[in-house]
Amino acid sequence: MSNENNRSLDSARDDQKPVNLLASVSDTSTESEFFSPMPAGYKKGKTRYCFVMGTVMSGLGKGIFSSCLALLCQNKRLKVAPIKLEGYLNIDSGTLNPFRHGEVFVLDDGMECDMDLGTYERMLDQDLSRANFATSGQIFSSILHKERHGDYLGRDVQMIPHVTGEVKLKLRQLATESDADIVFVEIGGTVGDLENAYYIEATRELAYEEGPNSSCFVALTYILEPKTLGEQKSKAAQLGIKQLMQCGIQPDIIACRAAHPATEKVRQKISVYSNVPFERVISLPDSASIYMIPAMLRDAGLDFEILRLLRIEDRISLRHERKAWGRWCDFTDKIDAQKYKITIGITGKYTAVRDSYASIINALEHAGIALACDVNIKWIETTAITDENAAQHLADVDGIIVPGGFGTRGAEGKIACIKYARENNLPYLGLCFGFQMAVIEFARNVCGLTQANSTEIEPDCPEPVIDPLPEQKKIEGLGGNMRLGGRDIELKTQTLAWELFGKTNSVRMRFRHRYEVDPRYIERLEKAGLVFSGKAPNQPIMQILELPSHPYFCGTQAHPCLTSRPLKPQPMFVGLVAAAMQKRYPDKKLPDCIKAVRKICNRTD
């Protein structure tokens, strides 16, 4: 970017200079038209804000973009805190159908949220909380609660300033709690939607109140490339940006998403129409791996543009960045250097929508990259699978995963797949529902409890080996009544799980379930050879199972995929991929799964 542009932009920003504006807006009395509640301890100027919004269409990868940009800043030793603002009226994502919305991601504090939070956690290797996620439902519910409580002092409660004030409060609360240098705010949906209009207005107000150089606005847009024309067209993008400017927001950066790199001509056109310097209109073509996007943004110089716009160059450490970037590149270099190839079958109800299993796909990818193995996924629809034809359906897979799920559809087919895996030494990993199905299969076919089932599938089942948790039995109705969030798991020594997790006594994983192994059956299952190697401390809730006689057969009531990170692959997934590799390449003398996990997960023992 030229100095010329720098100067003109800076002087434009300096013109805004509101004198002690924040002091006046934090006035929440009836006398003033200003209304902007401030959290206690808020330090103006400490935290800067980067707002990311989309134009033209949804699904541009705002979350991926925002998390990659945050990663580049984090690499420079800046403290970053992301937040996603959702337009919908649900309080959380717990009741959303993954078929329509992608997987429900669960945070350590039990918040059920959008899968974008998973992208942030993975990219930043950072645990997030409910402070990092807001929905319109939460915002309005808080407003209505305050209204009933008489907090608005006799005023009529309005979209502006009260609802926008609530949004600003949420953003400043995150800034205060996290003490972040930059809060990255991703606004769900597209500019022009009714649902997110008040979020966009709130960001405009916040940027104004915080003053010059406090915030920057990034607009993601989409460049059309109709096949019939064979060239890129920028009109839709221009109109989308115009719409943003009509909201009183001047973007600082425009990222052009497109199937191919945006041409110089297109970028110039967008620059002319938007007052955004050409250098800050960047091209962001589709990428084979999302892990390559940080390099794309870095090559476009976006990391330093942000620092300049927010005037925080003096807070960074280049030494820290050199090391962090080196580690990241060591990881991305491995992406295309895979020597092996295996196929993992995933039995899934929502087989048509990959987003419903985003974390599992990511966890397999992390494990595969670490083991130099390309993990191909075969989606297995189980409704037609029986004991008789399971071999046929599983002939070409090197391992299987039965993932989380609800309800009866396809459950018998899943049990048939598990039976086949157990009897044929096929590596198996059961996740939550897959753990419960493995218990049912073992109870029926090894313990002789032929009528064993889960009461979720068969409410009057005579042998309910899987039954609601005692704490759940008391709660009626759907929604918000599951055992949710991070829990410690006590590991049994000298077991596979204990080995995989580095011979530690306890490990933490995230849960989202309503049913569990009925404690009355534990002894019987264990006597027949099933080992419960992980359980809840001080409670008879079984959380990890394994079969010592099998090369790799394990399951967990938790969702280990939620905590797999690119540079820290999850041990149960690394174990599965390693075991599948051994099966696929018996002559290659590959290390057994425990040794592979030990090496990858940096165990020193």
**What share of residues in the chain are helix, strand, coil (percent, to 5)?**
40, 20, 40
Residue 527's H or E segment, with its range, is: helix 522-527
Of residues 419 and 512, the one with the C-beta less far from ligand GLN = 512
Of residues 166 and 463, the one with the C-beta less far from ligand GLN = 463
Cα distances (Å, whole numbers) of residue 231 to 269, 272, 347, 366, 568: 14, 19, 41, 36, 42
Our finding on whether 486 is near ligand GLN (CB under 6 A) is no
Of residues 322 and 409, the one with the C-beta less far from ligand GLN = 409
State the residue number with the nearest CB to ligand GLN: 404
Question: Within positions 417 to 436, which residues make up the interface with ligand GLN, using CB under 6 A?
Answer: 432-433
- Distance in Å, CB of 405 to ligand GLN, minimum: 5
Our finding on whether 512 is near ligand GLN (CB under 6 A) is yes
What is the length of the chain? 605
Our finding on whether 86 is near ligand GLN (CB under 6 A) is no
Of residues 251 and 405, the one with the C-beta less far from ligand GLN = 405
- Distance in Å, CB of 379 to ligand GLN, minimum: 17
Question: Which pair of tokens denotes residue 434?
Answer: 């897959």
Q: Which amino acid is at 296?
A: M
Q: Which of 270, 257, 306, 333 shows the shortest CA–CA distance to 1?
A: 306
Cβ–Cβ < 8 Å for 66, 200:
no
Of residues 187 and 484, the one with the C-beta less far from ligand GLN = 484
- Distance in Å, CB of 466 to ligand GLN, minimum: 8
- Distance in Å, CB of 491 to ligand GLN, minimum: 21
Our finding on whether 515 is near ligand GLN (CB under 6 A) is yes
Our finding on whether 404 is near ligand GLN (CB under 6 A) is yes
**Those residues with Cβ within 8 angstroms of residue 36's Cβ, 6 or more apart along the chain or in another chain:** 22, 25, 26, 28, 161, 165, 168, 169, 205, 209
**Cα(462)–Cα(468) distance, integer angstroms:** 15
- Distance in Å, CB of 552 to ligand GLN, minimum: 21
Cβ–Cβ < 8 Å for 462, 449:
no
Q: Spell out the SS3 assignment of 223-238.
A: CECCCCCCCCECHHHH
Residue among 37, 98, 277, 405 that touches ligand GLN (CB under 6 A): 405
Cβ–Cβ < 8 Å for 398, 427:
yes
- Distance in Å, CB of 397 to ligand GLN, minimum: 21
- Distance in Å, CB of 514 to ligand GLN, minimum: 4
Our finding on whether 481 is near ligand GLN (CB under 6 A) is no
Total residues contacting ligand GLN by CB under 6 A comes to 10
**Cα(129)–Cα(106) distance, integer angstroms:** 9
Of residues 162 and 483, the one with the C-beta less far from ligand GLN = 483
Question: Which pair of tokens denotes residue 545?
Answer: 């199972």
Of residues 332 and 455, the one with the C-beta less far from ligand GLN = 455
Q: In what order do the strands lie in the sheet with 182-187?
A: 133-135, 80-86, 182-187, 48-54, 215-222, 253-258, 281-285
Tokens 């199905």 sit on residue: 437
In 455-590, at which residue ranges do the beta strands (DSSP E only) sit? Answer: 463-468, 483-491, 506-513, 515-517, 531-535, 542-546, 553-556
Residue among 492, 514, 565, 603 that touches ligand GLN (CB under 6 A): 514
- Distance in Å, CB of 71 to ligand GLN, minimum: 29
Q: Which among 2-10, 60-68, 399-407, 563-571 is the span making contact with ligand GLN, rule CB under 6 A?
A: 399-407
Our finding on whether 456 is near ligand GLN (CB under 6 A) is yes
Q: How close are the terminal C-alpha atoms of the chain, in Å?
A: 51
Residue among 88, 278, 304, 406 that touches ligand GLN (CB under 6 A): 406
Q: Spell out the SS3 assignment of 562-601.
A: HHCECCECCHHHHHHHHHHHHHHCHHHCCCCHHHHHHHHC
- Distance in Å, CB of 30 to ligand GLN, minimum: 48
Cis amide linkage into residue 161, ω under 30° from 0 = yes
Q: Which among 21-29, 380-388, 420-428, 510-518 is the span making contact with ligand GLN, rule CB under 6 A?
A: 510-518
- Distance in Å, CB of 513 to ligand GLN, minimum: 3
Site string for ligand GLN, 433-452 (x = CB under 6 A): x-------------------
Q: Which among 88-96, 224-232, 343-351, 402-410 is the span making contact with ligand GLN, rule CB under 6 A?
A: 402-410
- Distance in Å, CB of 481 to ligand GLN, minimum: 10
**Those residues with Cβ within 8 angstroms of residue 197's Cβ, 6 or more apart along the chain or in another chain:** 247
- Distance in Å, CB of 17 to ligand GLN, minimum: 53
Phi, psi of 511 (to 5 degrees): -120, 155
Residue among 513, 535, 550, 598 that touches ligand GLN (CB under 6 A): 513
Residues lying near ligand GLN in the complex (CB under 6 A) are found at 404-406, 432-433, 456, 512-515
